[in-house]
């Protein structure tokens, strides 16, 4: 107790809370106080220290699983010792990822499972699946892709990265080459329900990617510029945002414009048969172009205002230096 009373000792020899011998200064303590007696028979008012109320630990909100998590479970069900390809993104991203993995799997004859394979194979070709699997696996990224592909033999499975998209210029060049190989092209053409349209129409098809990336869209002027310089019979458009102002502007300028809205594989197959194909930016547009074997394909010159991956270090990687049977894709300034 003496130790407590000597805190802040002043020249009078009395603690700071006395201003004279007989009085006590009442400080702004808590309403809950208790008293102790000092050696001068004065009462000292001290704050009552409340016991801390223990709060039950708050549960962390469950982290939202990526939309491909359930696909992963399906792919791995019953066989975790094989190669597999899965990950985030929409249909175009998944096609590119699966094709990137299929190229490696085919070289090394690997058993491999693919995300959304049934839907993708509606395009008319089979995603490769071989005969070999191993107890070990190797994760494939954009950085080690060609390091692995250059091996002469491979003695482990390959597995994709959920958030890798394999859309570098070099990989997409090889995917485009793969889809335009005689083997794959014959499969696609022969199985296309619109195959009678190949080299047999004068139609124009536009893909307008908007939705969550509408601020990256090339804009109305780009589409209008290309369309205005073409002579066609029918004009079709596929878009994820049919009520967007760009679509409304196109309808006003081209009243006979037809909205083509079926399912994703069919949109790709129908679009790829049209004589003129006008692309937006993005993987789905790129895939339409890759399948447009007998079309004149147009795309907007990619800039930091139209490409969301402009800072990736490999700009314009999905569109540049691509060709159809009719020639090089046409870049619009």
55 domain residue, yes or no? no
Domain identity same for 218 and 304: yes
Residues 6+ apart with CB under 8 A from 215: none
Q: What is the pLDDT of residues 281-303, one digit of tens each?
A: 999 999 999 999 999 999 999 88
Exposure string over 288-317, b if 16+ CB within 10 A, otherwise e: bbbbbbbbbbbbbebeeebbebeeeeeebb
pLDDT tens track, the chain, 333 positions: 333 333 333 344 433 333 444 443 344 434 444 444 444 444 444 444 555 555 555 555 555 555 556 666 666 665 778 999 999 999 999 999 999 999 999 999 999 999 999 999 999 999 999 999 999 999 999 999 999 999 999 999 999 998 899 999 999 999 999 999 999 999 999 999 999 999 999 999 999 999 888 888 999 999 999 999 999 999 999 999 999 999 999 999 999 999 999 999 999 999 999 999 999 999 999 999 999 999 999 999 988 888 878 777 766 689 988 999 999 999 999
Q: What is the pTM of this model?
A: 0.78
Q: Are 292 and 263 in contact (CB under 8 A)?
A: no
Q: What is the largest CA-CA distance in the chain?
A: 113
53 domain residue, yes or no? no
C-alpha distances in Å from residue 307, one per residue of 208, 209, 218, 304 = 14, 12, 9, 6
189 domain residue, yes or no? no
Domain identity same for 40 and 80: no
Domain identity same for 213 and 327: yes
Rounded-to-integer distance, Cα 291 and Cα 180, Å: 8
318 domain residue, yes or no? yes
Residue 249: its H or E element: helix 245-253
What is the extent of the structural domain holding 203?
195-332
Residue 279 buriedness (CB in 10 A; 0-12 / 13-18 / 19+): buried
Domain identity same for 112 and 210: no
Q: Sign of dihedral through CA atoms 141, 146, 147, 153?
A: positive
Domain count, the chain: 3
Domain identity same for 328 and 220: yes
Q: What is the pLDDT of residues 102-144, one digit of tens each?
A: 999 999 999 999 999 999 999 999 999 999 999 999 999 999 9
């Amino acid at each position: 107790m003496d130790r407590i009373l000597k805190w802040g000792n002043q020249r009078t020899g009395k603690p700071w809370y006395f201003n004279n011998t007989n009085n006590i200064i009442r400080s702004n303590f808590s309403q809950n106080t208790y008293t102790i007696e000092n050696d001068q028979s004065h009462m000292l008012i001290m704050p009552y220290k409340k016991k801390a109320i223990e709060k039950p630990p708050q549960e962390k909100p469950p982290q939202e699983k990526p939309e491909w998590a359930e696909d992963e479970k399906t792919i791995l069900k019953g066989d975790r010792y094989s190669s597999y390809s899965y990950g985030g993104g929409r249909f175009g991203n998944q096609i590119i990822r699966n094709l990137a993995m299929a190229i490696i799997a085919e070289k090394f004859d690997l058993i491999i499972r693919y995300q959304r394979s049934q839907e993708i194979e509606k395009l008319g070709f089979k995603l490769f699946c071989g005969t070999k699997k191993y107890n070990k696996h190797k994760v494939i990224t954009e950085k080690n892709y060609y390091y692995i592909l250059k091996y002469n033999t491979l003695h482990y499975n390959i597995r994709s990265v959920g958030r890798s998209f394999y859309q570098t210029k070099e990989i997409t060049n090889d995917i485009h080459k793969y889809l335009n190989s005689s083997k794959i092209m014959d499969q696609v053409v022969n199985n296309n329900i619109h195959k009678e349209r190949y080299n047999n129409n004068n139609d124009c098809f536009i893909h307008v990617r908007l939705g969550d990336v509408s601020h990256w869209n090339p804009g109305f002027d780009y589409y209008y510029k290309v369309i205005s310089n073409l002579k066609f019979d029918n004009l079709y458009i596929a878009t994820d945002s049919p009520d967007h102002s760009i679509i409304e502007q196109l309808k006003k300028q081209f009243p006979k414009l037809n909205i083509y809205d079926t399912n994703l594989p069919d949109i790709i197959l129908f679009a790829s048969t049209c004589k003129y194909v006008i692309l937006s930016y993005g993987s789905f547009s790129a895939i339409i172009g890759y399948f447009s074997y007998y079309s004149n394909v147009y795309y907007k010159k990619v800039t930091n205002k139209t490409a969301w991956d402009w800072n990736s270090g490999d700009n314009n990687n999905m569109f540049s230096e691509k060709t159809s049977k009719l020639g090089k894709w046409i870049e619009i300034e």
